[in-house]
Structure 1
């Protein structure tokens, strides 16, 4: 299974989600799944935000070598696409109507959404990473219990 996390610029939320998901998959020895990320307004090749790098580092993961990608059909085809907020989910569903596109929090049955931390401080990025991690743990726990 391929998970694709989507945010606006692919420098904050979605790279954190990609790193956390891939790290958790590795920890749990789940080998039939992996994660990628992209952004609807991404500047191709942009690095991850420094606060985002620090936030995932606290969990033992790295996005130091991340390179932003803009969303396209090749990335989302045959993937479970998980968007960070409802407005993005609606937009991506309109762009790719035949694909499996969900709001990350809804998919994990967690209230709210993953708000954009851009322009905020480290504490906001840490809280964002924590909420992403909680959603991912729930998704993976459900996946493991279904086996």
Structure 2
């Protein structure tokens, strides 16, 4: 199963989410899950933002090799589950062929659908808060996937 995280520029939230998911997947030994990310308005090949890079490194996750990708029909088609950071990301993923597989990241595990806080332009504390929010939500998503597979 391939999970795709989508935000705007693919430099802040979605690279953080991808890094967090990779770590949690490895810790839980979910060997058949893969992850990637893309942005609805990405500048291709841009690195992760300094804030995302620094906060991920604080948590032992290295996203320094990340390069932004523009969301495309091909990227959408390759994903089994598309997890959007906000409503406009969800709309774009669905418009590119992701209907039925696209979800607000916060709603996938049964929580209320709401946008994930965008740390762009904020200080490190803002990025840390977004990291904690993503870590909590992604843990719930992996729990939900595990339950679905068992049931």
- Tell me which interval the TM-score lies in, with the shorter structure as reference length: over 0.9
Number of equivalences: 147
Deviation at 1:70, TM superposition (A): 0.4
CA–CA distance in structure 1, aligned partners of residues 108 and 99 of structure 2: 18
What residue in structure 1 maps to residue 17 of structure 2? 17
Task: Please report the TM-score for the alignment, with normalisation by the length of structure 1.
Answer: 0.93
Alpha-carbon distance change, 145 to 101 in structure 1, aligned in 2, over 3 angstroms: closer
Give 5+ residue unaligned stretches, structure 2: none
Task: Please report the TM-score for the alignment, with normalisation by the length of structure 2.
Answer: 0.90
Question: Secondary structure of the residue that 1:19 maps to in structure 2?
Answer: helix
CA–CA distance in structure 2, aligned partners of residues 53 and 127 of structure 1: 14
What residue in structure 1 maps to residue 106 of structure 2? 105
Aligned ranges for residues 1-147 of structure 1 at < 5 Å?
1-79=1-79, 80-96=81-97, 98=99, 100-111=101-112, 112-146=114-148, 147=150
CA–CA distance in structure 2, aligned partners of residues 35 and 92 of structure 1: 16
- CA deviations on 1:15-40 (whole Å, 9 max, x unpaired) are 00001001110111110001100001
CA–CA distance in structure 1, aligned partners of residues 143 and 82 of structure 2: 18
Deviation at 1:144, TM superposition (A): 2.5
